[in-house]
Chains A and B, each alone.
Chain A
């Protein structure tokens, strides 16, 4: 074999284990749930192979699923918005602070390492009936008896914001950090106020980071399973909870397949729109 041919083969040898893993553990299984979503669950509990539209009919027309899907998207949207509002000024602060940037970034990365379930349950310590906030309110005499603050949609959103905020800040930071600071000075010298310079120069240049952070928050938020179980009430189930119910509890795999594909398609459309206008490169920057 010629040197060139060996040179050309080399990367594929190196890539083959990872690509095989992705093919076998992701692509083929994904094709498989597409097939499985057309199978039929029979009264005996066995799944009958074939091409039945029953699961799709149920998943797409039952208002129960539709309402929870819409509610899940709503919760993800609110979470993303709150993350943006909380995250942008913080990212700006880190990007423009002098000297201690590394420490500020490290502090931001720490929550990534603190367990998701611990971070979620930590709110019970704060907002619970005998939590920090109620204890404080009772102690000051502002309330006579503890208030029930947990287990509603607002606490689900709170938990999600707490979980997803670092993703947002990091993405905006990466974007802001790449903007030449002197651009704002230039705008100032041309007569813009600091605020105008920010609005017309810095903000537009940082939009790709904001969009990447937004996409991550939305996709991760919409796929959440644990937060509504820990911080939500009985009626606060999100779409992933339905999937878990169908698959693990009811063992109705054909329906579970159809439901998870529904979620995948809705979020996939979003990712595709994002990719069309901004490209995946921006997202990689923020993730790496």
Chain B
């Protein structure tokens, strides 16, 4: 009886999480002019309009380049730091990890203001580089958390075995450790990419005039009213941010099975 109630409650909570998003997807196929009910028919026209909207395509390009660069830098920094924290006895390891996690605990608005002011005082104007720095510092803690969690489960013995067979530390890293931790590296990079792709608060502070990412573009479009085009854009975003990580997870799983 008790379990029955808990299950029903949990199902309602899941519906609460997913129904609004499902409605976005549903309405993006609405044939009508307006992004609202009642639906008048099924149509792909809003996706076609989307593909022809120059501003949105530009925003997509910006977001993808920004996300890839963020992922690349963040993952590199994060993997190196995680290796140090997991593989070595670091004096003051607690302080170091808290410091590396700190960007999550500082409200994003404050982080955004601090970085913006600092670079401005240095005489650096708003630029794509500022946007990139901001995204890196914001995603770094997440990469470290993900990579560190997985790295703990890779046994030290295999590295020591390689070394005892005559491999140099570099050879050991590139031929043993890196392939073993590849799933974690990919997961970390994917995480950084999605967080960067989705970020809006910091981006609004840091973006130079005229540059839009997909979220800030959606935000600007929302000022008018909610159109079927926004819903279509939302659907594309959902497919990208949910489909890609799922695909990535599947690939990572295959890779880890193979190296198993």
Contacts and interface: CB of A to CB of B under 8 A. Distances in A.
A203 interface: no
B27 A125 contact: yes
Nearest to A122: B20
Given A26-B111, A166-B17, A284-B101, A125 B231 contact: yes
Judged by DSSP, the binding face of B is: helix
Contacts of B96: 15, 19
Given A225-B201, A257-B117, A260-B113, A125 B23 contact: yes
Interface string A133-162: 011000000000000000000000000001
Contacts of B137: 21-22, 25-26
Interface in A216-258: 219-220, 222-223, 225-226, 229-230, 240, 243-244, 247-248, 253, 256-257
Interface stretch (B53-61, B72-80, B159-167): B72-80
Interface string A110-127: 110111111101111110
Interface in A23-44: 25-26, 28-30, 32-33, 36
Contact of B98 (A11, A87, A124, A280): A280
Interface string B184-200: 00000000001001101
B158 interface: no
B24 interface: yes
B109 interface: yes
Contacts of A10: 84, 88
B6 A130 contact: no
B148 to A, nearest CB: 7
Contacts of B194: 113
Contacts of B174: none
B208 interface: no
Judged by DSSP, the binding face of A is: helix
In the complex, the 9 A-B pairs of residues with the closest C-beta atoms, listed nearest first: A223-B107, A130-B36, A29-B114, A122-B20, A29-B118, A14-B84, A11-B88, A135-B37, A93-B10
Interface of B: 2, 6-7, 9-10, 13-14, 16-21, 23-24, 27, 34-38, 76-78, 80-81, 83-85, 87-90, 96-111, 113-121, 133-134, 136-137, 140-142, 144-146, 148-149, 194, 197-198, 200-201, 204-205, 214-215, 218-219, 222, 226, 230-231, 234, 237-238, 241-242, 245
Interface of A: 7, 10-12, 14-15, 17-19, 21-22, 25-26, 28-30, 32-33, 36, 86-87, 89-90, 92-94, 97, 107-108, 110-111, 113-119, 121-126, 128, 130-132, 134-135, 162, 165-166, 169, 194-195, 219-220, 222-223, 225-226, 229-230, 240, 243-244, 247-248, 253, 256-257, 260-261, 263-264, 267, 271, 280, 284, 287-288
12 contacts: A12-B90, A15-B81, A17-B81, A22-B140, A36-B121, A111-B18, A113-B194, A115-B234, A123-B20, A125-B226, A226-B219, A287-B101
